[in-house]
Amino acid sequence: MPGFESIIGQDRPIRILTTFLQNGTVPHALLFTGMEGVGKQSTAVTFAMACNCTGNISEKNTGWENNRAADEQSNTNRRRIASPCGNCRPCRKIESKNHPDIIRIKPSGVFIRIDQIRSLCQTLAMKPYEAGMRVVLISDAQAMNPAAGNALLKVLEEPPAGTILILVANHTTDLLPTIVSRCRQIRFNPISKKKMETVLVRKHGLDPENAMIIAAMAGGSFSRALHMVSTNWINRRNWLISELDSLSTKTISRLLAFGEQLAQNNADLPDVLEVMKSWLRDLVIDKFYPEKIIHQDLAESVHRAAQKMSTASLLSKIETIQSTQNTIQAGTNLRLAMETMVLKLSRL
């Protein structure tokens, strides 16, 4: 991760951040929002590196890290570095997660708890150990429980000098409005299918056809695309589609067995459900705009399957899967949720 050039398909967020750095106008709190796997976390770490990089400072300021006086004098210069070098001592320590002044907070279990934020407040009351700019990175900020959110609000209202807070979340609606209003929001967009295809071919060695299939299934998330590459998801997709199209012909015992099988692979379940929805979506889209289906390599199969089901039935199936996804997020039993979903899909 040498610099912002390693971030894929996020030109606007990177342009905003580099402008902050060049102008020395970095806000005390940033909120990165967008779907999973589009580079929010990587960008936050790269930004922390840029705020503390010494490798691109002019010659007169080299060696600052061994001289506290020079360290104090070079703060302004460091803030005006547009992209980190990736090679200086602060950059290496931040990238390897060994920098004492880059504080990372993530959920403890399901939630970010108030004790974690209280501990953060105690740390922020002290001076940084060595950083020119201390950075607090709060991952999955939407996981803050109300008490933790209110405790963080006090920090945002009276931010410590020389400290930047970066909150990473999927949606602003998942956070307290008072927290959102005190942060500079930067929205990260889904990565374009064409951009993802190009990177998968050039940097990960996929052939163009497989890259096209993976990019379509990934739905704008590059981390999802890489996971699909490493777990042979094209074959799994084909199996899922075959199972989904034959649900109405299966016995109750086989339907329940399929639901149990889905539940057992809980790590992949979010991707499984998204792929199932994308297939059903294609069957709807094929009736109106066949050139816009996601699974282009299966266009003939899409068309044949679309002729067998009504639009109303397909939309009901999609709604059933979406409802199941919401239920899972609420913490329901996975096996029960999958068996119930499969039974409903077989009857629609």
Question: Which residue carries 């209280």 as its tokens?
Answer: 118
- State whether 79 and 118 are in the same domain: yes
Query: Within this chain, do residues 265 and 333 fall inside the same structural domain, yes or no?
Result: yes
Statement to judge: residues 19 and 122 lie in one domain: yes
Same domain, 222 and 249: no
State the CATH number of the domain containing residue 44: 3.40.50.300
- Regarding whether 242 and 131 lie in a shared domain, the answer is no
**45, 75: one domain:** yes
> Which regions of the chain are under pLDDT 50?
58-79
Residue 138 to residues 28, 31, 144, 148, 322, Cα–Cα distance (Å) = 14, 10, 10, 12, 28
pLDDT, position 80:
65
Do 46 and 151 lie in one domain? The reply is yes
Domain finish residue from 135, 163, 187: 187
Same domain membership, residue 151 and residue 241: no
Give yes or no for a contact between 55 and 89, defined as CB atoms under 8 angstroms apart: no
Question: In CATH, what number is assigned to the domain containing residue 317?
Answer: 1.20.272.10
**What string of H, E and C letters represents the secondary structure of the chain?**
CCCHHHCCCCHHHHHHHHHHHHHCCCCCEEEEECCCCCCHHHHHHHHHHHHHCCCCCCHHHCCHHHCHHHHHHCHHHHHCCCCCCCCCHHHHHHHCCCCCCEEEECCECCEECHHHHHHHHHHHCCCCCCCCCEEEEECCHHHECHHHHHHHHHHHHCCCCCEEEEEEECCHHHCCHHHHHCCEEEECCCCCHHHHHHHHHHHHCCCHHHHHHHHHHHCCCHHHHHHHHHCCHHHHHHHHHHHHHCHHHCCHHHHHHHHHHHHHCCCCHHHHHHHHHHHHHHHHHCCCCHHHCCCHHHHHHHHHHHHHCCHHHHHHHHHHHHHHHHHHHCCCCHHHHHHHHHHHHHHC
Domain limits for position 217: 193-230
* Torsion sign across C-alpha atoms 49, 50, 51, 53: positive
Q: Report the candidate in 3, 37, 1 with the shortest Cα–Cα distance to residue 271.
A: 37
Per residue in 222-273, pLDDT (tens digit) is: 998 998 898 888 899 999 999 999 999 999 999 999 999 999 888 889 889 9
What confidence score (pLDDT) does residue 261 get?
92
* Sheet strands side by side (includes 163-169): 102-105, 134-138, 163-169, 29-33, 184-187
> Backbone phi, then psi, for 53, in 5-degree steps?
-65, 140
- What is the pLDDT at residue 189? 94
* 258 and 163, same domain (yes or no): no
Residue 273, number of CB atoms within 10 A of its CB: 19
User: Is residue 142 located within the same domain as residue 205?
Assistant: no
All residues at 6 or more sequence positions from 326 whose CB lies less than 8 Å from its CB, including other chains: none
Q: Does residue 226 share a domain with residue 237?
A: no
Total structural domains within the chain: 3
pLDDT of residue 3: 84
Alpha carbon separation from 137 to 3, 4, 105, 189 (Å, rounded): 18, 17, 6, 20
Domain closes at, from 163, 187, 211: 187
Residues 220 and 295 in one domain: no
Residues 6+ apart with CB under 8 A from 150: 176
b (16+ CB within 10 A) / e for 230-245: eeebeebbeebbebbb
Predicted pLDDT of residue 1: 56
